[in-house]
A and B are shown apart, each in its own frame.
Chain A
C-alpha cells in the first residue's frame, strides 16, 4: 500500500521514528485490534490506536454511558450519557481519524460469540472489569492461539501483561477466578480516574509494538504499579507447568461456564 500526502503528514511522527518508519506505519494501518469493553481501559486504548491509524478497530460492549463513567472513560462526553458506549466510541474515533474502520458490537461477549469475533482480529485488548470475562478472554485466546493484552486496575494500582502463543497466560498466574464478591470491582472500591489512562496507554503501546513487531512485549512478565508511591515493577513469571489450560496436563480443553457475581449483574 502507499500513503497519500495527507496520510504521510498525519503519521509523520511515526514515519520519522526509527523502528516504525513507513514499513511500521503500513503494518499499523493493516492491523486489526479488538477492544473488549469501551470503559476506563478501552477508552484510552481506542483513542490512541485510532490516532495511530490502526486500520480496523472492533469494540464490544453492551453497556450505555452512565454519568459515573465520565470520571475516567475519556472517550465518552457529557452529551453521550445514556448512549450506547460502542456508538459513542465509534463517533469519537470517526472524528479523530476517519480512516479507521470501526466495527461496533453492541452486545455482550460470551462463550457463544467469542471465537467467531476474535478470529477476525490480530490481537485482543482486555479492558473488562470482571473476572469471568477475563478468564473467558484468556481461555478463548489460548485455545485459539490469539495474542491479547491483559489489564487490571483498582483504586491506585494497575497490572498488565501480554500473552502471545507459547508464552505464559493469565491462568499461569491465577489458576481460577476468585470466589464471587471477594475481590472488589472498581464500582465497589473506587479507582482514581487517571489510573485507567496510565494502564490503557501501556496496553495501547503493547498493541502498537506487537503490530510493528519491534521491542520486547510484556510476555512472561507482569507490570504492576502503585500510583500513590509511583512505584513500577515488572515481575517475571514463566509458563506454569501446572497451568490448567497451557500447562503440561491441561484440564481445560474448552470454554467454561463463567458466572458473574449477582452484584455485578445488577450494577
Chain B
C-alpha cells in the first residue's frame, strides 16, 4: 500500500496503518505536537487513536512552530 506523507510516497506491506503508528514511524512520538490533515480535512485530536490510513491516502503533518521574539506577552 502507498500513502503520501507530507507530499512524499511511503510504502507499507499491510493494507492499512493506524495514524498513531504512522506518526511514530515518522518520529512523531507526541501526537500533541502535530495537527494532522487527511485527504484535505483535519482530523480531530480525539480521533487520532481510531483513525487509520489506506491505499492512496494523503496525509500532512503540521507542527507547532514558535518564532522570533520572546517577551511580547503580558497578562
Contacts and interface: CB of A to CB of B under 8 A. Distances in A.
Is the interface on chain A under 10, 10 to 19, 20 to 34, or 35 or more residues?
A: 35 or more
Contacts of B22: none
Interface string A236-253: 111010100000000000
Contacts of B68: 37, 39-43, 72-73, 127-129, 151, 153, 186, 196, 200
Interface of A: 36-43, 60-63, 72-73, 85, 107-111, 126-134, 136, 151-154, 157-159, 172-175, 178-179, 182-187, 196, 200, 222, 224, 233, 235-238, 240, 242, 257-260, 264, 267
Is the interface on chain B under 10, 10 to 19, 20 to 34, or 35 or more residues?
A: 20 to 34
B66 A61 contact: no
Interface of B: 6-7, 30, 32-33, 35, 37, 40, 42, 44-45, 60, 62-75
A158 B45 CA distance: 23
A174 B35 contact: yes
B74 A235 contact: no
Contact of A109 (B40, B63, B73): B73
Nearest to B71: A63
Contact of B73 (A73, A133, A175): A133
Contacts of B74: 62, 107-110
Residue of B44, B45, B68 with most chain A CB atoms under a 10 A cut-off: B68
